């Protein structure tokens, strides 16, 4: 279940919703429209995702291929060469 951030969309709000607050919800749940503490109108805000596993070993070609992704590296202006995975060997802007 993901965490969603909400903030008050109308003044004055309460101490809970004036600053952004986090709510754990199911993906199937509809977004909250009112603050659970004071009943003021609130809106869901987009926040930065929390990514897990950002180590150098995650970017190894063998790891990328096992995950089913394709990796390209830039070899020139608008030209990319495949370094891992399935797909065309070279992609160019032409």
pLDDT of 6: 93
Structure tokens at 18: 């004036």
- Spatial separation of the C-alpha atoms in residues 17 and 11, rounded to whole Å: 10
Query: Where are the chain's structural domains?
Result: 3-45, 56-92
Q: Please tell me whether residue 43 adopts helix, strand or coil conformation.
A: strand
| Distance between start and end Cα atoms, the chain | 44
pLDDT above 70: residue 53: no
- Spatial separation of the C-alpha atoms in residues 70 and 13, rounded to whole Å: 47
Structure tokens at 20: 């952004």
pLDDT of 57: 67
- Adjacent-strand bridge partners of 22: 5
Q: How confident is the model at residue 80 (pLDDT cuts 50, 70, 90)?
A: very high
Mean pLDDT for the chain overall:
86
């Amino acid at each position: 279940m993901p965490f969603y951030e909400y903030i008050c969309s109308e003044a004055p709000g309460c101490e809970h919703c004036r600053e952004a607050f986090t709510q754990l919800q199911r993906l199937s749940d509809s977004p909250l429209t009112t603050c659970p503490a004071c009943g003021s109108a609130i809106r869901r805000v987009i926040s930065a995702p929390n990514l897990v596993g950002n180590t150098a070993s995650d970017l190894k070609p063998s790891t990328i291929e096992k995950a089913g992704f394709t990796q390209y590296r830039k070899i020139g202006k608008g030209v990319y060469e495949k370094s891992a995975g399935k797909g065309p060997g070279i992609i160019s802007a032409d």
